[in-house]
Amino acid sequence: MKIAITGAAGNLGNLLAQSLKDRNLHLLFHKKEVAENLRSQPNIALYQVDLTRKETLVKALNGVEVVVHFAGILFKAQPEKFLPTTNTQYFKNLLDISVQECVKRIILISFPHTEGETFPNNPARGSLAGSPQSAHARTRLEEEKMLFEYSKQFGFEAIVLRVGMVYGRGILMIDAAQWFARHYLLGVWKKPTYIHLISKIDFVNASITAIEKPDIQGIYHIGDEGVQTLQQFLDDITAYKGNHRPLRMPMWLILTAARCFECISLLFNVKSLLTVDFIRIGSVSYYGDTARMRNELLPELTYRTYKEGMETF
């Protein structure tokens, strides 16, 4: 089996590629190169592609049976202006060439936010009828719909993995939070926000099963058994590493900081570590029904809650 991973130089794309490095891989990247240890293996082929240009995808997807799609643009100011293009049109280009090259299965990495605000007692259940507020969630929902429309028309297996927050050492958002906490700079809003978590080990294991298991398709929510708020999670993981507890801040102050980050990004053409849309999506509670995941992808979790998985930080 040949497996193609888009965004293979990104955080989660690299994580999955490292776990599959003994398989036949096509690793697709844009500007940032893939990890050095993946560059010289005979079973791994590297392809620099541009999702705006379909012709760059043809060779990369030739002979591929499964595509796992991570690629996207983050940490850039005013995401609401570019996401309708980078999430939807770029994904359409990938789907067009995947169909042309007879790819059998396409896996889209998504998140529970596409159903809007959900809670442990009222979780997301795999609906495509959500009305999320953030641009990240709205455009990802459009990708999900497009995937299933193409699948119905062309007959490949379509899988969406709606992944909760992945945690563990080496996950950029977690590492960044610890860095800010060490320097007394980590803040969080006061309103309790429920989040669904999954360890990086369990995320990888669920993803590999989704790649390999025959005759599956549809939407799977990927998360553990824990019930916690973002505030509780940040308090616990920073304390575990000996860092400072996140400050509770008013939302207006956090939004002001996000706007400042975006202005600096636009003025100096650098990354924006924080955007208003990040706050918009991050302040919404999200939780998914994991029954399908447990029945079909991952019957046993390595870490049932983040407290069991503290050793991975």
What are the pLDDT digits (tens) for 208-224?
999 999 999 999 999 99
Q: How many domains does the chain have?
A: 1
Residue 101 is part of a domain; what is its CATH number? 3.40.50.720
In terms of residue numbers, what domain contains 206? Answer: 2-167+197-224+286-303
Contact 43, 25 (CB under 8 A): yes
Q: Let me know if residue 148 belongs to a domain.
A: yes
Convert the pLDDT of each residue in 289-309 to its tens digit. Answer: 999 999 999 999 999 999 999
pTM equals 0.96
**Residue 216 burial class via C-beta count within 10 angstroms: exposed 0-12, middle 13-18, buried 19 and up:** middle
Q: Let me know if residue 150 belongs to a domain.
A: yes
Q: Let me know if residue 152 belongs to a domain.
A: yes
Q: Let me know if residue 84 belongs to a domain.
A: yes
Contact 226, 306 (CB under 8 A): yes
Q: Let me know if residue 270 belongs to a domain.
A: no
Q: Let me know if residue 27 belongs to a domain.
A: yes
Contact 90, 53 (CB under 8 A): no
Convert the pLDDT of each residue in 241-295 to its tens digit. Answer: 999 999 999 999 999 999 999 999 999 988 887 899 999 999 999 999 999 999 9
Q: Let me know if residue 116 belongs to a domain.
A: yes
Q: Let me know if residue 103 belongs to a domain.
A: yes
Tokens encoding 170: 């080496």
Distance CA 193, CA 297 (A): 27
